[in-house]
Amino acid sequence: MASFVITVIVVALLAFGVMLRPLWRETRGIAACMTVVLLVTSAALYWVVGTPMAIEQATHRPTTPHSLEEAIVQLRAALARHPEQTEGWVLLGRSLYNQQKFAEARDAFARAVALRPDEPDVLVAAAQSRMLANDSGRPDPEAMHLLEHALVAQPDHQRARWLLGVMQRQAGEPATASATWEPLLSVVDAKTRPGLLEQINAARQEAKLQPIQAPVTPATDAASGKHIPVRVSLDPEFAKRAELHGGSSVFVIARATDTPMPVAVEKHTLRELPLTITLDDSDSPMPTRTLSSLDTVQVLARLSRSGNAMRQPDDVESAPVIVHLPSNTEVQLIIGR
């Protein structure tokens, strides 16, 4: 298991991708996408199976990948041995997607959907890769089905709602697309709302419907309050016993309670302790899985002497703390106690 650790969309959508980036988070230049995926493969993938039970004998571990291509090769090999790992297929799909290998990404996400058929984020990622791999000029019925299913599971999934509307408009159903998009007006941020309203009214014009006005809403983020103040310190007795280097790394992590996948991570040095920080969406290693998307998270701190994001046998963790969001209560994490 440790080897597993090491390891033409619609013109309108492309034209308005920058304006509506919060709804189309993954349409970016290849250089930026490579950076994101390297972060995922070097950090987020680690926490997919980052538990003591995931540690195999050293002789069974492959070398640490030094490039995205090496990481993908190792990930493919690990998935051949452990095809039941949903997170692995998702990460492979995202890596291939960000290399613009959309057909291969589509196939990887299809494997993830087969394993987790009711997970909205997986369904949306699978639909998105199918849309980009489809060069027929016609809507992909399976992609539309995936998005509809995602909205059944999570009606407030913004990207699913946006992409489904895009496909409906592409399919010649502008009135349906408008109706799909309109609920987003009350939840997107103020910068996104004008571009979204423009697309809704363009669809309504095609359907010979009257234009609408954006609802008046408070200029606050729908995820307001979903941040976690954290104080990290070192147990004094542990500090006396252990031979620690001030440059050792300290990872402060928030993750879902049902999976080791992180939703927020900050990296600091041991010499910064005691340390007070705030975890929020800006700390998410994966833009489609953020702190504000969850109601309950597990928070912990990990001391890494090697500084490697991959969990090592001599790493030391604090006791994890369950946090129900939103919360303004400071979480106290003590490493070595």
- What are the beta bridge partners of residue 250? 268, 303
pLDDT digits (tens, 9 = 90+) for 171-188: 999 999 999 999 988 887
- What are the beta bridge partners of residue 304? 249
DSSP letter, residue 59 = G
For residue 278, report the phi and psi dihedrals to the nearest 5 degrees. Answer: -130, 120
- Residue 257 burial (CB count, 10 A): 12
Question: Cβ distance 232 to 318 under 8 Å?
Answer: yes
Tokens of 3: 């080897």
State whether residue 301 is helix, strand or coil.
Answer: strand
pLDDT digits (tens, 9 = 90+) for 84-109: 988 889 989 988 988 889 999 999 99
Q: What type of residue is 141?
A: P
pTM of the model as a whole: 0.53
Where do the structural domains in the chain lie, given as residue ranges?
Answer: 2-206, 228-335
Question: Cβ distance 323 to 331 under 8 Å?
Answer: yes
Phi-psi region of 279 (alpha: psi -120 to 50; beta: other; left: phi over 0): beta
Which pLDDT score is estimated for 14? Answer: 33
pLDDT of 68 higher than 70:
yes
Which helix (H) or strand (E) covers residue 159, if one does? Answer: helix 158-170
Tokens of 222: 């729908």
- Residue 97 burial (CB count, 10 A): 23
Tokens of 227: 């941040």
Q: Which of 150-159, 161-170, 204-213, 301-310 shows the lowest mean pLDDT across its residues? A: 301-310
Beta pairing, strands 296-304 & 275-279: unpaired
Q: Which of 45-59, 67-81, 90-104, 320-334 shows the lowest mean pLDDT across its residues? A: 45-59
Residues in contact with 167: Cβ distance below 8 Å, sequence separation at least 6, in sequence order:
10, 131, 139, 140, 143, 144, 147
Which pLDDT score is estimated for 225? Answer: 60
Of 209, 224, 144, 163, give the one whose Cα is nearest residue 22.
163
Residues in contact with 221: Cβ distance below 8 Å, sequence separation at least 6, in sequence order:
189, 292
**Domain 2-206 is in which class?**
mainly alpha
Longest dimension (CA), the chain: 75
Average pLDDT (40-45) is: 44
More confident residue, 265 or 240: 265
Of 43, 143, 49, 34, give the one whose Cα is nearest residue 95.
34
- Residue 240 burial (CB count, 10 A): 9
At CA 302, angle to CA 242 and CA 61, rounded to 5? 95
State whether residue 139 is helix, strand or coil.
Answer: coil
Q: Which of 115-119, 233-237, 307-311 shows the lowest mean pLDDT across its residues? A: 307-311
